[in-house]
Structure 1
């Protein structure tokens, strides 16, 4: 029994109840080029931590000696506490560097420690410390850890809780991550660690995700399950943007797909913000990169006319949850969104 699935573990969907949310604090690194950028990032991460703490406890991993400075920014939390713990960090994307938690339905919790190599060993990335964060978080949570040689990140998978997982060709099969692995080998390793039985592969992510600080196609910025049988997809209404065609292709693939239970997928299109370019580059601003927490949705906002339209779509999909909008432009400037900086620990 050396794989999670052998012991009955599976990854619950994000909408299942959480014990807490894990985050990591921005530290000096190539993602934040100067003190001003770093301070701005910390304000943005702090705003997300406070928004999540209105719904559930947050544990924030900060670098050694960073507790006092981080506490001054994040505060004590809203209705739930924000706990700070110190560990060595390189970057701040807990979705990717932290563990993927799995449960066995009998009160057991375990953690999957994917191999992390800086999103495909990108030349700017550092991962000496981040490659160990999943194990640190698992130890802090008091759980068993399952390690795997598969290079993967939490933002590169999305599950429906009933056997289906979304993957991307340019991530799990990308040369920088798993050279020599076949699609079948990747699927077998994913299924063995998540308890899934069917993978739906998308050909790529959003165009902007292939820039300097991009992940090379994480799925959590382009598609996400809202519930079993229903998947949200990022759509770009403006044909001038390269994501216009990408979104149409991905939506068509998903509409033609069935899930692990044999259901034809229902696709809910979520239009992109109206802004197309920032600093001369195509943006990958996306509402798909939201975070579901207990009784809430923490949704990216962009000071954009479509923010409220997206919020209404999410209110319709999650009528029992409160939608909280948090400005995510600073987070996206660093290479991700709200989902990318949060990681759920399910309640058992």
Structure 2
């Protein structure tokens, strides 16, 4: 998750100052009386105009390249009808992506026609969370929702200088919105796009603990009302808990198992837990009860969170009162990597106030990646899904990778399904879904 490089400190200060002026000039009035002018949030599986990504600024573990993962993703997207919008900090970011794509056999002509580069200052690449959520209306217009951002509920645990740099990402939505000619709807609610999963017909699923933690002065009813206001929603479904690999780095980490501390960095997001297949069908992972015998606390927490979510969703309806259909998917077993001093994620954890059991002598730590199959990307013609098995990892991952591959093929029969190694993203606390943001087709 989401450590921002210190070289952006001065840029962050200037950007925050400028953004305060910009927000005074965006249109806060919302839709007018004309129903065709009302903005609404389509589902991710509906036709798209483009998919946003943003240039990486760091790698979270040495030897694992975020740019390489992006290049593999874009390589699969480019031959399709979905275009790519790419946010950069500098011309060097453009050159880096082009070089990565050409080295993978992507033609220069395809790059020139399918990728649109935009200068949008950003501290990190988690554009799902900070890049604004794009709505549309029947008149052919876009509106982007600009929420506030609190560095994923870490403000009281990280140095003030780090938090100040995070605020560079508070207003990425203004840049992405301007690039697409979108009006901006301002909300003082603090949330991230990764915690909002829409069915396209007026219902959203969110994990409530992150919303309550980021907005302590608001009740859940007030949060619900604000979500309904900005997205013209009819219904909000709140899940209670998160999977273990999406646990808070201080409040819920580390977990001890067989005398060893296992750290992780999560942010309590719905896109680690669920995905809409249509307006009344939800994909939800399942941890087999047989895996609980290991005693692994990550397995136990995930099992409890997912079964709690199942109980909630199985008693819910969509906006039209239709009961939800729940399809269970595999949940990967905990995937552990070793972090060393100098790895960005290692240094991010090290600087956190209140974190327990972190070594003071620079020795390595065991880190559980934010691995989840729900963190996948749907475009017009291809679905990008993660694969987690590698030699040396739990053999069950190989079977689960294939099980999920076949499941997605059955659920998206008109789209190509491509499995990608996204470890470089997952070790940062997210997945491929976290580093994209869709723009609906008009």
TM-score normalized by the length of structure 1: 0.91
| Structure with the bigger percentage of helix | 2
The partner residue of 1:310 within 404, 409, 416 is 404
Q: Which residue among 73, 76, 92 is the counterpart of 1:51?
A: 76
* Distance in structure 2 (CA, Å) of the matches to 1:22 and 1:218: 19
**Where do 4+ consecutive residues of structure 1 move more than 6 Å?**
none
Tell me the equivalent position of 2:145.
112
1:14 maps onto 2:33 in alignment: no
Q: Which residue of 2 aligns with 1:140?
A: 179
Query: What corresponds to 1:70 in structure 2?
Result: 97
Partner Cα separation in structure 2 for residue 119 and residue 54 of structure 1: 35
* Partner-residue secondary structure (3-state), 1:120: coil
Q: Which runs of 5+ in 2 are unaligned?
A: 1-27, 250-263, 339-365, 390-396
Aligned match for 2:415, one of 309, 316, 321: 321
Deviation at 1:52, TM superposition (A): 2.5
Task: Give the alignment partner of residue 207 of structure 1, picking from 222, 244, 256.
Answer: 244
In the alignment, structure 1 residue 86 sits paired with structure 2 residue 137: no
Equivalence for 2:384: 298
Q: Secondary structure at the match of 1:167?
A: strand
- Indicate if the aligned counterparts of 2:274 and 2:285 stay in contact, CA closer than 8 A: yes
Deviation at 1:276, TM superposition (A): 4.5
Alpha-carbon displacement from aligned partner over 1:44-93 (angstroms, at most 9, x marks no partner): 12222222223311111122232222321234676962232233221101
Aligned residue for 2:383, secondary structure, equals strand
Residue 330 (structure 2) aligns with:
271
Q: How far off is 1:121 after superposition?
A: 4.2
- Counterpart of 2:275? 224
Worse overlay, 247-256 or 13-22: 247-256
Partner of 1:198: 235
Unaligned runs of 5+ in 1: none
CA distance in 1, matches of 2:330, 2:244: 15
Would you say how many aligned residue pairs link Structure 1 and Structure 2?
341
Aligned to 1:330: 424
1:234 is aligned to 285
TM-score (norm 2): 0.72
State the distance in 2 between where 1:282 and 1:253 align.
27
Q: For 2:330 and 2:405, how far apart are their aligned partners in 1?
A: 11
Does structure 1 retain, via aligned residues, the 8 Å contact 2:120–2:176? no
Relative distance call for 1:331 and 1:144 in structure 2 (3 A) is same
1:286 aligns with 2:372: yes
When residues 221 and 140 of structure 1 are mapped into structure 2, their CA distance, relative to the original with a 3 A threshold, is same
- For the 8 Å contact 1:172–1:186, the answer to whether it is kept is yes
Note the C-alpha offset of 1:222. 0.3
Secondary structure at the aligned position of 1:225 is classed as strand
